Structure 1
């Protein structure tokens, strides 16, 4: 029997900066999980990802200022951002801009999203690559198998539910040996998360967007922040909707997503309908 959907889903087509100003009350959002364009020349359906760098940085401050205003004082912004061979310092430039120069946020946790890693099959066994990455054909650079997840908060003191994504102890004797366990067979996962993409057969059908993150990545962020049954989650750069699907899976109170591209938004609506999820559509006023 299909469970009743707990999450109210609101989708807004249009520019997220104007959309947040129009539709989102200040201090109303618990969790923002998002991955904005990186200005690295990614071929989106309509968005120009090759802006002048100063224009891109100014735009980053614009959307982040609105995100900060809409976030509650104890809220969390989980910002997924990666670099490239042409702009390896981009994540750190953006972080410095938001946390140091403009003081919109504090960096509370720096998380590494591992897309692929070499591990042994079993203890002392041969290693094999797990997960997926885009190979680099170079005699100077190694393959880039990770991206950053910056956990940004307003005061740097937001309490988290660390064991919501905890992992069992390998050595069970540690449960009784250490007082901080409280007798619980779960420990903090830490700041290195191995979350591979699911294998796809045809990119055009299975992942019709050039820069997505897995549902599981968003679920980790939502669960880590806590208060899942009563939280309001937002993604200003919804893409094809992975944050929405994760929010529904986590049973949050409300999810709000903005997407400027009508093709991607149509894909989100189609997927939600196919999954049997209800949603409410709105639009951002034309610029």
Structure 2
């Protein structure tokens, strides 16, 4: 069962502290990501994993998620430049963006903004729920009406500075289904690349508290997979839109140092409590 956190207590703890603090190997910074990224050293980050607000009207506590489209994209354009500055030349940046049925171009519009600064090296489809035959596995948000199908996936864009960053593909690999392929194709172990479609379901929850009182988090398994794929032991990990802290929980589990930036004190407090409990 997911641990239910006292978010108000966590927020009070954050507000009583300075603007940044450490939990294990992880640094949580309370502030606006544009300002905080400008304070970070250039070339200091190995892996960035983040999911910015999608501008679809999510009820965040400290951010307006329904800005004019041009204003929203201009803001992300500045964020892209700031992230590029703090990344190492062989770094990886994994950007999770979703769309809505009514606004299907949203993820591509965001990706095109980041394309101005980065090279798109891989494009992953994050599958949240899948039906095979008469069975289904995973979780999705049901929709009303007859125009659209349930939206069961989101995009993960893997950006790099050059497009030629070597990855540890087998760190997130899977066993061969047909074991004869191991010798026939010259592999030295029973593991192959899992490809660019990732099935990572949410855990079933029945309350906002079980979602850590954050309306749009992603499972810890998603940043874990991104960090493993980049393949650097002891990497420095960045999430400039930390939310409830899944990226830093993943970094801590993998023995990496992490930096998370969050503008809302309650979400930052929740991230701290999750790290303490992990």
What TM-score comes out, normalization by structure 1 length?
0.86
Consecutive unaligned residues of structure 1, counting only runs of 5 or more, are 1-5, 121-126, 276-287
Cα distance, 1:62–1:201 mapped onto 2, change above 3 Å = same
Instruction: Decide which of 19, 25, 28 is 2:41's aligned counterpart.
Output: 25
Instruction: Give the structure 1 partner of residue 67 of structure 2.
Output: 51
Displacement of 1:204 in angstroms is 2.6
Write the deviation string for residues 9-47 of structure 1: whole angstroms up to 9, x where unpaired. Answer: 11100101100111x100110000000001110111221
Displacement of 1:138 in angstroms is 2.3
Equivalent positions of 1:159-238 (< 5 A) are 159-179=166-186, 181=187, 183-227=188-232, 229-238=233-242
Alpha carbons 2:125, 2:154 under 8 Å: kept: yes
Give the Cα–Cα distance (whole angstroms) in 1 for the partners of residues 107 and 47 of structure 2.
20
Give the Cα–Cα distance (whole angstroms) in 2 for the partners of residues 7 and 77 of structure 1.
23
1:84 aligns with 2:97: no
Equivalent positions of 1:32-47 (< 5 A) are 32-47=48-63
1:269 aligns with 2:276: no
Displacement of 1:139 in angstroms is 1.4
Alpha carbons 2:141, 2:150 under 8 Å: kept: yes
TM-align CA RMSD: 1.3
Give the Cα–Cα distance (whole angstroms) in 2 for the partners of residues 34 and 257 of structure 1.
10
Instruction: Give the structure 2 partner of residue 16 of structure 1.
Output: 33
Give the Cα–Cα distance (whole angstroms) in 2 for the partners of residues 26 and 205 of structure 1.
37
Instruction: Give the structure 2 partner of residue 281 of structure 1.
Output: none
Equivalent positions of 1:104-183 (< 5 A) are 104-120=117-133, 127-179=134-186, 181=187, 183=188
Instruction: Decide which of 257, 261, 272 is 1:258's aligned counterpart.
Output: 261
Displacement of 1:7 in angstroms is 5.9
Consecutive unaligned residues of structure 2, counting only runs of 5 or more, are 1-22
Cα distance, 1:7–1:226 mapped onto 2, change above 3 Å = farther
Alpha carbons 1:7, 1:255 under 8 Å: kept: no
Size of the aligned set, in residue pairs, is 256
What TM-score comes out, normalization by structure 2 length?
0.89
Write the deviation string for residues 191-245 of structure 1: whole angstroms up to 9, x where unpaired. Answer: 0000000122322344311101000011100000001x23100000000000010
Displacement of 1:136 in angstroms is 1.6
